[in-house]
Structure 1
C-alpha cells in the first residue's frame, strides 16, 4: 500500500509570519488555489482512490479543488489535523490551526464524509499537542484502518508537522523542520 501525503496549498496564514499565524480559519490564497489545481496534473486521481484530509479549511479547500469532478471517497479526519513538530509540551495551538466543527464541515463541504471511527474527543482536541507515545498509538490504529479500506493508495492532505510526524512514525527515521514539505509538496511512503 502507498500513502501519498500532500501538504495543503498556500494559506492566508503564511503571508505575514508571525503575525498571520493568528488568523482564525484561514483560506487558500490565489496562489494556493492554483497550487491545488496543479495537483490534478501532478497526481491525477481515479474513482478508486481514497482521500483523507484534515478538518481545517485550507486542507479541505485543497482537497476539494484537486478532486473536483472525480467520484472518489473523500474523508475528513481529526487524526491528520495540525500537529506540532517537534512537540513542545508547553506549546499552544495557534488560531490558524484550529479545526472546523463537524457542523461547519457538513455545511461547507457536503460531499465529504466525516471520519466516524475517530473518537469524538479527537474532533475537539485534535492531535496538535498529543504526546508522541499517544500519537504513535493513534497513528498505528489509523494506519491499520487505512489498510482495511482495500485500495492500493491513499492520499492524505494535511500539514507539514503532521506529515513529518507520520513519516517519522512509519519509517522510524529522524526528521527535522528542514524536512517539511513545501506547499502542495508530495511525500510517498510505501509499506
Structure 2
C-alpha cells in the first residue's frame, strides 16, 4: 500500500506569525487556493481513490479543491488532525489547530464522510498532545485500517507535524522540524 501524505495549502494562520496562530478556524489564503489547485496536476485523482482528511478547515478546503469534479471517497478523521512535533508537555495546543465539530463538517462539506468509529475524545482533542506511546498505538491501528480499505494508494491531507510524526513512526527513523513538508508538499511512503 502506498500512502501519500500531503500538507494543506497556505492557511491564514501563517500570515502574521506568531499572532495569527491564535486565530481559530483559519481558512486557506488566496495563495493556498492556488496551491490546492496545483495538486490536481500532481495527483490526478480518480473515482477509485480515497482521501483521508484532517477535520480542520484548511485541510478540508485543500481536499475539496484538489478533488473538484472527482467523486472519490473523502473520509474525515481526527487520526490525521494537527499534532505537535516534537512533543513537549509544556506546550499548549494553538487555537488555529482546534478540530471542527462533526456537525459543522457535515454541514459545510456534505460530500465528505465522517469517521464515526472513533472515540468521541479524539473528535474533541485529536492527537495534538498525545504522549508518544498513545500516538504510536493509534498510528499502528490507523495503518491497519488503511490496509483494510483495500486500496493500493491512499492520499492523506494533513499538517506538517502530523505528517512528520507518521513518517517517523512508519520509517522508525529520527526526524526533526527540518523535515516538515512545505505547503502542499508531500511524501510517499510504502507500507
CA offsets, 1:119-147, max 9 Å, x none?
21100110000000000000100110000
Q: CA deviation at 1:56?
A: 0.3
Residue 124 of structure 1 corresponds to 124
Aligned pairs for 1:54-65 within 5 A: 54-65=54-65
Q: CA deviation at 1:156?
A: 0.3
> CA–CA distance in 1 between the matches of 2:170 and 2:177?
17
Residue 12 of structure 2 corresponds to 12
> CA–CA distance in 1 between the matches of 2:173 and 2:116?
31
> CA–CA distance in 2 between the matches of 1:153 and 1:117?
22
Task: Give 5+ residue unaligned stretches, structure 2.
Answer: none
Q: Secondary structure at the match of 2:99?
A: coil
Residue 22 of structure 1 corresponds to 22
Residue 33 of structure 1 corresponds to 33
Q: Secondary structure at the match of 1:184?
A: coil
Q: CA deviation at 1:54?
A: 0.4
- Compute the RMSD of aligned alpha carbons: 0.5
> CA–CA distance in 2 between the matches of 1:48 and 1:119?
28
Residue 92 of structure 1 corresponds to 92
Aligned pairs for 1:41-52 within 5 A: 41-52=41-52
Q: Secondary structure at the match of 2:189?
A: strand
Q: Does 1:149 align with 2:141?
A: no
Q: Secondary structure at the match of 2:47?
A: coil
CA offsets, 1:111-170, max 9 Å, x none?
000012222110011000000000000010011000000110000000000000000000
The two structures have a TM-score, normalised by structure 1, of 0.99
Displacement over 2 Å in runs of 4+: none
The two structures have a TM-score, normalised by structure 2, of 0.99
Task: Give 5+ residue unaligned stretches, structure 1.
Answer: none
Q: CA deviation at 1:70?
A: 0.5
Q: Secondary structure at the match of 2:164?
A: helix
